[in-house]
Structure formats: structure tokens, C-alpha cells
Structure 1
């Protein structure tokens, strides 16, 4: 594991200056563009390290490595560090002395390693050598301890052990036994292993090695961080380096119907159980962030149990008195991330806000929320990974609907500048695409937003691809996607339309709530009105020559459109779409979502069949491509086989694309290319250009 320089800036500039390469972006480009994530900054703010994933175009094999940038050097070029051929390095984090810790599988499993990022040709040393793989970690502020987490059986008192309890597989066969009230049976794309959870442990750091590991979850049974998408934002060190804060939802009979994540505190060297700081709230509490002086704990909290898309309010807890206050209760936006300013007088948060996901500053004393400019463009796009630096500057990631993720720095005076541009040479080759924002009166006269993308140099009327987002409580806004990418559709010669229908996020909680028990109502009306409004706003797109596409809830909407707007489109693409709400209510794993959105378990619903696509198949006639993944346990693949069967039996032109190694999303490089090629071939068969 050693450090290496990137190709010279001269070669990069030459690539950027050559217009001869202008061409449409392709599905191969989307799969192989570099992916930046997980930025970390040294204590003095000089050194920035990030992970970058690269994809080999011939094999689509991916590898992830670490790169460092010296912010003090003029025209500094990123340098590869800890480079082990054939292995991955991820999750960089600095200690107080500027040493860099990270995860690597160089020893055969994911473990914590350490390197000096400033030294040329520095060699990395292994820090942990545990029986379990390390999924993530955090270094204590004083640098003497390491908090790590990973999948560990409950019976283990150390980070991994040879489990003796064979109760999960009783008898001579291969069957797993899930005992009464044990929680999830399967989740997202994995069958649960009974008795094994994601658990946090603390190690001492002595002489560059991790020693004396001990669990910090006490007798609690559940996953920390939460699965499948929880991460390090659900755990935090206190500034005293003695206290750990973590979130956990109890794994019991209620787990599949519960959104009750609680925040616990634990003195790591005390013989005391963890303390539940949020026991009074039966809804979600998450994102624990202690203040620099240790007096306050900031966190995000929802109010309604069982509702995963409730508004997350920024909370402050006095750690001495236990008193709490809702800092952003008057702000009708949902806090997605939290970071303290160094002086402890304000917090930096992000939140979805009308197509963008900007950066905000919240004053601790007053709760006043101020939107901060975080780019040099009119719209800031999608801001994440916010890291306050020592000099009052901010490091963060940024992407837009046109540009993949790079790192930016906003100085103490408020000036934003781009720090990395890892795909500059590739992006310079692509034909330019322009974006128009669409605003129209939707269902009930409410203001609804959308976007129209198309090639800058397009001539004549373009056929339309209407992309419908999933969630349904989400947004198809000004953000880059490696799966449903509006720019890529526009580069194929389509006027690409996205609409944030009723139920979308970033427009106030009432707008988000409005889809509850109304899946096929206002959203469908918004899509109809939005398609018409787009045609009026942009005469260069032909809304009568259109296909519609969607995944998850967007796939549900395709199935709903097939029976309730059968003359609206030349073709449809439904990916992982819900076809039968009755079956879905008992096949999906996170029951809280289905039961909140539709009014409880199936046998308690008064109008369960009202928005069920299966009841309208007698009107299906639109040619449809159906796509699913066999590892999808959120919307199981039976929900895709059934509509394909209907289409075939009714003689409707249809195809079924099944990925045996994908879940609810198509993530692997070669599969992504195949997905897009199949979709573009389908659109091209029915849309006249």
C-alpha cells in the first residue's frame, strides 16, 4: 500500500480542450464514470482525503481507492494513497494528530488500517485483526480509542467469535429457524441470520494496534447502525472520548412495523448499561451529534410512529438536565444531515427543498434557518457530506442532474470553489444538455414542480420519456443518479421529463403527506397535468409521442397507468413495480411503510382495493417492458412476473427482463449497461424520432 500521482494536469487540459470528441453520453459512460464519496479532512483542514470508485470498461469490474489533496498547494493534483493492487480502500478518517485510518480488505477481510497521508511512498499498517469484518469505524477525539461496527452474533463478547449457539439451524439440514417474535426474516436483499446483528464495539489504540475490544450495546438486541442503509451518521463520539452515542431499533416482533429508532448513550469504560435518551418518543430519533463543548446533543426526530417519511425536526438535548427543544419546529423542511460549527453557536444541515438539496445554517440560540450558497451556479443541486474545517470553511460533496459528484469548499467568507473535478475529461466529450424548470398547477390547484432535459443542439420535435420517481416520498430533482439518470435519457435524443407529484419531498410536510391512501389519485392527475404543461412550455418536445418509465412506486404508477390512462403513452417500462397491493402487504419486509401509506394491515383497510392495479388489467393494452431482480425483497419479483403474465395472456407486446443477482436496484456495472440497452431498445421501438 503506497502513494502514487495522478496523470499530469497537462494531459487533462488537452483532453478538455478537444471538441472533436463531442458525442452523446452512453450507458457505458454512466457505468464507468468515476464515483467520489466519503470525504475527510485533517484537523488543520489542509489535507482532504476521499474515496473514488473506478470501473474497468472491458469487464465492468470496480475498485475503490483513496486520494489525497493538499489544499495549501497551488494547482495541487490528487495523489493515490494506500494503493494495494486488487484490493479496495474506503472510509477515510483522520485522528487528532493527522494520521489517516481507513478500511481495506488487503488482509482478506475488511479491517482498519493506518497510514501517514503526507509522506511520499508511505506504507500502511493494519490496526484491527478481528474475526468479524469491520463495516465502519470512528476514531475518538483524543485518538486513544476506536469505535467499530459489523455483523457479530449476540453471544460474542468480542468483535467476532466462533458461535456455539446452533439454534438458528437446528437439526441436520440447512433450514434456518426464525423463532416467534424474532423480527425481520429477510431485509432488502438478504435473509437474516438469526442471532446476528450489526453491533458496535470499542477498541483501545495502543502502538498503532487495536486491543481490548468490548461491546457498547449492553443487552440491547438490534442493528447499529440500522439496516439496510444506516451508516456512521447513526453513531458518534462525545468530545470527552468516553461517551458513545448510537441509534438502535429493537429486534422483536414489532420490528417490521416499527420506525422507533432510539438514541442511546454509553460510557465505554463503565460497567453500566446504555441509557435510552429518547425513550419518550415512539417515532424515529437519529443522527446524534454532540456539541464541541459536550453540553448539547443535536439530533433529528420524527413525531409520528410508523411513518418513515415524517418531517425530521432538528432537536437539542441538554445533556446535563435532559431538557429538549425543537430547534427547527417552525421550518417546514426535513433535516437530512447535521454538523456542528466549531464554535458551537450554529449547526449546518441539509434538507430537500424544491428540486434541490441545499446547505443551511441553523442558529442554536434562536433556531433561525439561513440558506447558504454552496456553488457558483444558479442552483446548488445536491449537497452532502458536510464537514466543518478548522478555519471556518466547509468541505462538502456536490452533484447536479447534469454533473456527477465532486468535492467543494466554501470559505469562511462564503465563497464556494470546486476542489475536485475527477470526470472532467470524460464530461468534456459529451454533447451538452440543458435543463428547464417546470412549474404548473397540479391536482387541487397546488403548485407542482418538474424538470425538462434535452440536448442543447436538438432540432425538430423530440419524443418524450417521462420518468416517474419511486419512494413515493422522494424527489426527481437536481441530483445525479447512477441508475435513473435524466441526462442519459436526454442524450439519447429524448425530451426527458420529471415531475415531483403530490407525495414528493421538499415542498412541505403536508404535500408529502398528501399521497397517504391516495397512491393512484393526485399523483396520476399531476402526471397528466404536468405532461400537458411541459408541452405548452417547450414546443420542442412532442408529448403525444411519449413513453413513461418508473421503478418501485414509479413501477406501481406504470401498472396503474396501464389500466387508468391506457391511451396516454406509446409504451411503458415498469421496474420493480407493485402490481397487487393485497399480496404486497404481506410479501414486503418493512411493513411500516406499506401499512402507513395504505391504512394498516390488509384486513383492517376499508378501501384496500381502491388503488390496486390488479383490478384494472382488463383495460391493459400499452406495450410494456417489465424488469425485476430476484434478490428484491422490498417488492418481490412475483410482483413483476404477474403483470408480465397478464400482458402475455392479453396479447399485449411485452418483454420481461430478470436479473438473478440484483435487488430492488440494478447496481452492477454490466447489469446497468444491459438494463439501459434493453430500455433504450424498447423506447426506440415505439417512439418516432
Structure 2
């Protein structure tokens, strides 16, 4: 058993990073081929944790994902239980702990199906055969049925009709898509005429899986939808304690998203099917609280769900609500301190205690609350990094809590959390071999005050750091905006790979970030770019003032998504940066409103529709500042990005070329909002590294000086 106190881990890593003779600089191959450990799923008795490990390769066909088991007490090493190259996901235990369900595409499967593995021995057997594929399995309490979801053609009622509709669509001679409502696109694909549905398969008698929502009034509503936003509709569904019905979260007003906020209600549908019963909201609630992430207490007397209140604000932090079951009378509503967003959570047997994760100043803590009594209190706090994907079994007053632990210098590994002594037991070490010998400096936290706000930042030093030298500064801005930089291992914008060529990297949680609670995150309502950018610039000033090793004459800034928006705003408002990097960044808020897959929240943030040309539309739109564009810029885009469509990148590129700003455009035709493919990721990091090296590592490099008449802000 390996027991590591979080503070000792940080010290050990810092010590190893201070030994340049044995340490080396991280490469893209180190990052990309690092094993990826997924969140664990505990057995019903809490003694075992099931999880998957992916061994990635640049050729995706050569990557593999397998299922592993590890004892939660750490006394025995992990053991691999699947060896198929098809890859597994969506793990679920039977209530007796003897079977494990998972999703895989094996043999001649055309779509992913649910398989069940008997842990007493034998091969996994396929239990679903649905043309549209199956995912998110869950055993019924008695183990006789399996719940799963699938996206099926709208109007289908059984497998015969599903197969007929799928075949018809494949054989169409035209490629036209027709729409009569909003939204029409989602993340990186056009929305198809499909719906996410809840299915139940009889594991004892077999037969065709039943679509519990087929033919219901709910499924015919134009606004019926699951949780979207990432390219696929999802429904989170759980068995009711008696196994005779299913509770799930779904929307009935998604079609209003062009002119109104939408929300998800909780619903209950009988095992035999029939019209679902709405458990939250009323017909008059066009903009009610939104519910999801449902679970029951062990004794079945309480139902818990995450709830996001509906206010005039775009961002509202998630709370936790407890209902009496089956009356659905609300018995408690739990808020984290400063109304920080509650993440994953675990409920005890009686439903009167709950443990949950929250983000605090770049870290993830675990809090404990007693329903209906007192304020939540700190339960486990790491000295570095954070506790992720909290899960567990809590049958008594001493819960088994597990999840993932990671930090900026340690990739995610399965861990069990020991609250009393504020430590964690590391249960896996899959990344240790690749991590060994890498020169990775832990992040350093600092604060500064700006415009009435206390702003948190982190600093990452480059490999082979020498405090007597001067290093350039790369200011990296996060997306969202309602996200945060955290002391974590990152694949798409890895702090240490960006610092590898000799840059200090600055990571600032500007106003709008979620690290300081709801009010701080809401502070950008009506101030989408100017205020956060000011936080960024003053954080760079604070970092330079604090550290003599930062060369304030050599600065670049960059980011992706909202971070790219900020980079484009900096282009028109300051000349302090030698270069900029803008990935998936909008330059024209007006064009973004009309072409993105999200519309209403942008309008609400700006204080009114674009055609009214309110002050924010007129004063915080980067394209209107194009006369000031001077800073050399690397512009990158995924052509399949529908969240920030490429038209914004092309418009930015045209403005840069029109203003004769030295710039470089890199387009990935096969990528979406994120650069996800191995070789594309390697090329992207090479482009960013080369761009920064050109403008930061050459002392003679200068940018054209703006005229004194330019209204630039330093």
C-alpha cells in the first residue's frame, strides 16, 4: 500500500525538479503517450474500484483501453480484467457485485453495445443489439434488467422501425437537412432528426429492449431534449429504489433557446413504460431551476439532484437539493461557501450526510454537509492539486471516498481519500514510469488586487530554471469564461510543455472564473472582455514585480475559446505584448451571436439583442478596434468548430492582413473546438512553440511601434 501525504508529494516533486542533472524537459510524446486513467466506479460494498486505462498512440487505431480492478484499501495491486482491442467505457456494477456492465464495440458490432462480464469467470457477453448503439448502462436493484440510453430516429417506436429509418436515411439520394427551430448545430455537428431515449433490457428473459419514451407526449414535444452541448444528447437516468420505475433529467423547452433560458426537469417513468410524470417544475415554469445528476440515498428514502437556479444571470452555481421520496417534498438545499459550484458528490445510507467537491483557488477540495443542519465544512484539502470525480460508498459514518488525484506535475491516478488526516492513498501508478525524470516545477500561487477584486494567479517556471537568469513571460488565458485554471494535469494546453522552451507561464483566474464563487463568476455580466483583460494585464504586472527572473520587456499572451476572445481584445487595446496566440477566438461578437450553436446567453450577457446596438455591443467588440491592430498573431482554428465558427477566424485573419499585421493562420479541417488528434496536437504545439520562440527568445525582435495617436491602453 502506498500512502502519500499531499504536502509530502509536493515537496518531493519540487525536490526532484530541482535536480537538473537527472531531469529532462517534457516532450509532446511524453504528454501524448502518458497513460490516461479514468474515474473509478466503486463496487456496492466499496471494496473494489473498477476503472479504465487508455494507452494512447498517435495512430488512434493502435490505442487501447482496458478495464482494471483495484482494492480500495490499497493492499493488492491493480489487475487488468479485459484485453480486447475494442476498448471499453461506461462501467456499471450489479448490486451483488458479481457482474460488471460496460460499453464496447467488438467483433462485427457496427455500433457500440452493452456487454456484461461475470467476475467469477468467463468471457463478457453482449446483451444489447440495437442499431443505434447503447451506452450508460445500469443494473436494476434485483439485477434482472439493464437500463441504457440511445439516440434514435425521432418517430421510431421499436427496433424494426429504428432499423428501417436508419436504412432509409443511409439510402437517401440527397444530403439536404431541413430545420424549423433552434438550435440547428451542436459543438461540431449539425443536429439530426434523432432523440435520446431511455431503454430497459430484460437480462433474464431476453427479447427486444423496450424504449420507455416511445410514443409519449413528452417525446413529441418540440423542446424535448437531454443534456447537449458537446455534440451528443445525453440523459442521466437512475433506477428508483424499488426497481419499478426510472428517474431521469430532460428538457421540454430546448426549442426556446434562441429567445429564452431553458432548463431540465426531473421525470419518472414506469418500468413498463407509459407517460413520464414530471417531478419538478410546472407548465407555467418557462425558466425554472434546472435539475440533473440524480442519485438516491442508500435506504431509498431521499432523492438528491444538482440544481442550478434560474435567475437573470447567465451563470448560476450548482447547488445540491434533497427531496423526500416518493413525495418529492424538498427537505434540504445545500450551498457551498461563497456559493461555489458543487461538483461530484456522495450521499450516505440515511441521506442525512453528503460529501462533495468544490473548486477553491485553483484546487479541488472535498466538503461535508449534514442535510438541513449547519454550514458545509471542510473534509479533505490537498496541499497541491485536487480531488476529482468524487465517488464512494457511505453506509455508515465512515465513508469510503475515492476518485482521482492530479496536479500540474502528476497526471490523474485512482486514489482513496482519508479525511481525518487530510491525506490520500494512491491506488494506481500507471503514469509513474513516463513521469520519472521529467523536469516539472510545481505551480506557485499568488494574488493581487484589481478594481475591487482579489485576483488569483499561478506561475509555472521553465525546466532547468536558474533564478539568476531572465525569462520571457507567456500569459495563458483560459476558456469558458466560467471555468478556471487549476493545479492540474492538462492535455490541450499543458503548462509545462508550453514552458519547455524557456518561458515562464502565467495562469490567471480573472473575474468570470469559477474559483471564487458565484458573485465573482457573475462579475463579467455586461463586461465580457474589458474587465477580465484588465485583470490579465495587472496580473502580468504583479508577476513581473514579484519576480526578478521575469523579463518584463518580453511578453506574449494567448488562449483558446474565451481565452482566444481575450487575445483578440488585447490586440485592439494594448501594445504591451510582443505576440499573441488566438485559438478558436471570436473577433466579432455580432457575428458570433448569429452563427454559434448558442445564442440567448450571449444576448443576455450583452444586455439586449444585437440590433439594438447597446453600449456593450458597441464598445466591447474587438473588430471595431481593428484600426489599432499591430501585434503579430498566430491564429488557429478547427474547421468543424460550431461553438466559435471559423467565420470569426477568417474575419480576424482578413483584418490582420488588411492592417498588414505579421500573422500566421493554421486551420485543421478535421478538428472541432479542440485539437484532439495526436499528430494534429503535436503540430499545434510545434506552431505555438515556434511562434513564441520567434518573438520571445530573440532579444532583437521588436514589434512595430504604434503611433502616439492610437488609443491603446497599457
Alignment-derived partner of residue 97 in structure 1: 96
Residue 149 of structure 2 is matched in structure 1 by 149
Shift, 1:389, TM fit: 5.6
Instruction: Provide Cα deviations, 1:326-377, integer angstroms capped at 9, x if missing partner.
Output: 52247321122232123422112222222112222121131531222265xx
Partner of 2:139: 139
- 5 Å-filtered alignment, 1:265-664, equals 265-269=268-272, 271-279=274-282, 280=285, 282-304=288-310, 307=313, 309-325=315-331, 327-329=333-335, 331=337, 332-373=339-380, 375=382, 378-388=383-393, 392-411=399-418, 415-442=423-450, 444-455=451-462, 457-459=464-466, 460-565=469-574, 567-607=575-615, 608-664=617-673
Work out the CA distance in 1 between the residues paired with 2:609 and 2:169.
28
Aligned residue in 2 for 1:13:
none
* Deviates further, 621-630 or 230-239: 230-239
1:143 is displaced (CA, Å) by 1.5
Residues 148 and 186 (structure 1), Cα distance of their counterparts in 2 relative to 1, 3 Å cut: same
C-alpha spacing 1:240/1:464, structure 2 compared with 1 (3 Å): same
Aligned: 1:23 with 2:24: yes
* Partner Cα distance (1:518, 1:318) in 2: 41
How far, CA to CA, are the matches of 2:28 and 2:609 in structure 1? 41
Contact 1:200/1:224 (CA < 8 Å) preserved in 2? no
Q: Which residue of 2 aligns with 1:126?
A: 126
Q: 1:258 to 1:146 in 2, by over 3 A?
A: farther
Structure 2 vs 1, CA of residues 416 and 230 (structure 1 numbering), >3 Å: closer, same or farther? farther
* Pairs within 5 Å for 1:48-67: 48-57=49-58, 61-67=62-68
Q: Secondary structure at the match of 1:288?
A: strand
Could you give the per-residue CA deviations for residues 180-224 of structure 1, whole angstroms, max 9, x where no partner exists? 23x321110011112x022211222217x5754232473323333
| 2:242 equivalent in structure 1 | 240
Q: Which moved more, 1:535-544 or 1:157-166?
A: 157-166
Partners of 1:226 and 1:248 within 8 A in 2: no
Q: Secondary structure at the match of 2:298?
A: coil
Name the SS of the counterpart of 2:443 in structure 1. strand
**Residue 176 of structure 2 corresponds to which residue in structure 1?**
175
Shift in alpha-carbon separation, 1:642–1:147, aligned structure 2, 3 A? same
The 8 Å contact of residues 89 and 104 in structure 2, kept in 1 or not, is answered as: yes
How many Å separate the matches in 2 of 1:507 and 1:370? Answer: 16
Can you list the C-alpha shifts for 1:255-303, whole angstroms capped at 9, x where unaligned?
3443311111222225443324233562422222222222222212222
Match of 1:198 in 2: 196
Question: Within 2, Cα distance between the matches of 1:563 and 1:151?
Answer: 44
- Structure 1, unaligned stretches of length 5 or more? 1-15
2:186 aligns with 187
Measured against aligned partners, the alpha-carbon deviations of 1:104-153 in whole angstroms (never above 9, x if no partner) come to 1004221111113464xx42111111222113222222212211112112
Give me the CA root mean square deviation: 2.8
State the Cα distance separating 1:21 from its structure 2 match. Answer: 6.3
1:575–1:627 CA contact under 8 A, matched in 2: yes
Deviation at 1:58, TM superposition (A): 6.6
In the alignment of these two chains, the number of paired residues is 662
Cα pair 2:345 2:390 within 8 Å, conserved:
no
In 1, Cα distance between the equivalents of 2:374 and 2:238?
Answer: 23
Q: CA deviation at 1:68?
A: 1.7
Residues 132-175 of structure 1 show CA distances to partners (whole Å, capped at 9, x for unaligned) of 21132222222122111121122222367124599999996321
CA distance in 1, matches of 2:645, 2:353: 44
Q: Is the 8 A contact 1:41 1:49 kept in 2?
A: yes
Question: How far has the Cα of 1:669 moved from its partner?
Answer: 1.2
- Contact 1:358–1:374, Cα closer than 8 Å, also in 2: yes
In 1, the alpha carbon distance for the partners of 2:26 and 2:139 equals: 41
Given the two structures, how large is their TM-score scaled by the length of structure 2? 0.87
1:658 Cα offset (Å): 0.5
Contact 1:374 1:410 in 2 (8 A): no
Which whole-Å CA distance do the structure 2 matches of 1:604 and 1:294 have between them? 52
| Cα deviation digits, residues 529-577 of structure 1 (max 9, x gap) | 1001111222222232111011111111111101101x21111000000
CA contact (8 A) 2:101 2:137 kept: no
Corresponding residue for 2:710?
A: none
Return the offset for 1:307: 5.0
Contact 1:473/1:512, CA 8 A, preserved across alignment: yes
What is the distance in 1 between the residues matched to 2:251 and 2:176? 26
Name the CA distance, whole Å, in 1 between partners of 2:504 and 2:593. 36
Structure 1 residues 63 and 308, CA gap change in structure 2 (3 angstroms):
farther
Between stretches 126-135 and 211-220, larger displacement belongs to 211-220
Structure 2, gaps ≥5 residues long: 1-15, 699-714
Shift of 1:612: 0.3
Pair 53,172 (structure 1): closer, same or farther in 2 beyond 3 Å: closer
1: CA distance between counterparts of 2:289 and 2:71? 43
1:214 equivalent among 198, 201, 211: 211
Q: 1:60 to 1:235 in 2, by over 3 A?
A: same
* CA deviation map 1:400-432 (0-9, x unaligned): 222211111124855521111211011112113
The verdict on how the C-alpha distance between 1:204 and 1:294 changes in structure 2, with shifts beyond 3 A counting, is same
Sort the Cα spacing of 1:230 and 1:388 in 2 relative to 1 into closer, same or farther, 3 A. Answer: farther
Using the TM superposition, name which of 531-540 and 255-264 deviates more. Answer: 255-264
Partner SS state of residue 617, structure 1: helix
User: Matches of 2:129 and 2:255 in 1, distance apart?
Assistant: 35
CA deviation after TM superposition for structure 1 residue 641, in Å:
1.1
Offset, 1:582: 0.9
Is 1:36–2:59 an aligned residue pair? no
> Deviation string for 1:644-689 (max 9, x for gaps)?
1221222211111101111111111111111101100110111127
Contact 1:137 1:149 in 2 (8 A): yes
How many Å apart are 1:457 and its aligned residue? Answer: 3.8
Partner of residue 255, structure 1: 257
